[in-house]
C-alpha cells in the first residue's frame, strides 16, 4: 500500500469514529450523516485504487476463442 492508501484508510476510520461520537453525544443522525458519507467515500476510493492496481498487474486477456488442446493419450505403465 502506498501513502495515499494509508491516508484514505485513516480518513475513513477518523470520520467513522467522529460520526459515532457525535451521534452518541445526542446530535441527530441527520446532522452527522455527512460525516458517515465522507467515511464511506474514503473507503470506496480506497477500494477503487486497489481494483485499478490489480487490473494493471494482471496480464491482458487474449481475444477470440481459447485454443483447445488435443486430448492426451492414456499412458501405459511398463513392468
pTM above 0.75, yes or no: no
Confidence (pLDDT) at 47 = 95
Q: Identify the residue with better confidence: 66 or 42.
A: 42
**What mean pLDDT do residues 10-34 have?**
96
Confidence (pLDDT) at 27 = 94
Confidence (pLDDT) at 77 = 75
**What mean pLDDT do residues 4-27 have?**
96
Confidence (pLDDT) at 72 = 77
3-state secondary structure of 68: coil
Distances from the Cα of 53 to the Cα of 34, 58, 60, 61, 62, angstroms? 28, 9, 14, 16, 20
Confidence (pLDDT) at 62 = 63
Amino acid at each position: 500500500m502506498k501513502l495515499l492508501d494509508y491516508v484514505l484508510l485513516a480518513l475513513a476510520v477518523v470520520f467513522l469514529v467522529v460520526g459515532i461520537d457525535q451521534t452518541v453525544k445526542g446530535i441527530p443522525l441527520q446532522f452527522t450523516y455527512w460525516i458517515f458519507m465522507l467515511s464511506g467515500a474514503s473507503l470506496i476510493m480506497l477500494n477503487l485504487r486497489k481494483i485499478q492496481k490489480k487490473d494493471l498487474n494482471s496480464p491482458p486477456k487474449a481475444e477470440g476463442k481459447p485454443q483447445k488442446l488435443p486430448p492426451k493419450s492414456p499412458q501405459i505403465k511398463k513392468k
